[in-house]
Every structure is written in C-alpha cells, then in structure tokens.
Amino acid sequence: MSNRLFISFQKVPPEVKTFLWRALALFIGWKLLYSFVLSPRDMPDAFLTRQLGNGTAMALNWFYRTDDFSAQHTARFEKYGQDSFLLTKSMVRCKNCTMEDGRKIVNVLGIFRACNGLELMILYAGFILCFTGSIPRKLIYIFLGIIALYILNVFRCMFLGFVVLEHAQHFDVAHKYFFNTIVYALTFLLWVFYVKGLPSKNEKVDYA
C-alpha cells in the first residue's frame, strides 16, 4: 500500500509537489508559531478584535445614521486546563436601540477571537505564498486581499448587528451559514484572480 502511494506521488507534477511541500511547511510553522508564541500573548488577535469592533460600530452608525453605537474592549485571562490565555473581546453597544419586539438592547454584538478573521487571512496568504509567482506580486495580492477580507468582515458584523436588531430569530442562520458563505466565496474569488493573472508556461518570470 505504501509503495503504491509513493509511486503515485512520484507521478504528481513537480509544480504540485512544490505547492504541497510549501503548504505543509507553512502549516506546521504557523501552528507552532501561533500556539506557542502568538496565542498566549493574544497577538495579533487582540489588535484584530479591537479593530473589528471599532469598524463594526462605525459601520452601524453609518448604516443607521446615528452615533449611538460604540465598541467596548475587555481583556482577561481564561483558563484552559492547566494553562491561562489572555483573550480580548469587543462588545458593540448601543445607547438607544430597541429590537423588533420593542425590547431595549444595550449589548448588540460580541466579537471574539474566532470572529476576527485571522485564520481566514492566514489561509488566504498561505495559498498565495505556496503558489508560483513573483515575490512582489504575491506581496501586493496578500496586502490588498487582507484589507479586502477585513473590510468584508466589518460589513459581515455590521449586518449581523442589523439582524440582531431587526430579525433576531434569523441570527443563527445568518451567523453560521449565510455570511460565512459570502466571506469564503470572496476568498475563493481572490485566489482565482491571483491564479488567472499568472503568466503562461511559455512566459519567463522569476518565481519564488
């Protein structure tokens, strides 16, 4: 069985092998860096979470033509097993908001580490780093793509806040499926734009 797998792998085109080896190396390297260095220090999660909270409050103020929305940030240690980790939360609050049933609501939307889009940004950047292409082109696509993903995430959270206020019964569906599908679809389109812009095999280019 192992010999068959080895023989099958030998038949894989060199470009695909390079992509797979790069992907494996980046995955292992990122997981080690994040798990042992960044995550215990809440980096860069704290920054992304706070910026997403601020952006969401600004977007809701723009959407509702008001200044009632603001973001409140808190950081505290959470214990997981024997270890404690610093976690930042951003709560989007409203001074004068009511839900569709007339109830007053202050805490509109909580934004946690899992919501800040870091994993998706790393996935997007990792794909481009593993693929062929010149280094300047990769850096441009990574930079612009991460900005696009952040802006999209702000609008995702803004519309989730809208759903909380106007159609609370649909929040779970919107949060788990609808808006996530849109975000992943955009990520896929960004990858497609990157790959389509690559030169053909007959064109000479410096590859990373």
Q: Has residue 81 got a pLDDT over 70?
A: no
For 173-188, b where at least 16 C-beta lie within 10 A, e where not — what string? ebbeeebeeebeebbe
Residue 18 CB-density burial (10 A; 0-12 exposed, 13-18 middle, 19+ buried): middle
Question: In one letter, which amino acid is 171?
Answer: F
Q: What angle do CA 68, 118, 185 make, to 5 degrees?
A: 90
pTM of the model: 0.86
Instruction: Give the confidence band of 7 by pLDDT, cuts at 50, 70, 90.
Output: low
CA pair distance 149, 183, nearest whole angstrom: 8
Strands 104-111 and 83-98: antiparallel
Number of helices and strands in the chain (H, E):
7, 3
Residues 6+ apart with CB under 8 A from 198: 131, 132, 133
Instruction: Give the confidence band of 205 by pLDDT, cuts at 50, 70, 90.
Output: very low
Q: What is the mean pLDDT of residues 114-125?
A: 94
Backbone angles phi, psi at 163, to 5 degrees: -65, -40
- When mean pLDDT is compared across 7-11, 132-136, 145-149, the lowest value belongs to 7-11
Question: In one letter, which amino acid is 58?
Answer: M
Residue 147, pLDDT score: 96
pLDDT tens track for 19-72: 888 999 999 999 999 999 999 889 999 999 999 999 999 999 999 999 999 999
Q: Quickly list DSSP for 58-75.
A: HHHHHHHTSS-EEEEEEE
Residue 145, pLDDT score: 95
Residue 207, pLDDT score: 42
Q: Tokens for 177?
A: 């499926």
Domain boundaries, the chain: 14-196
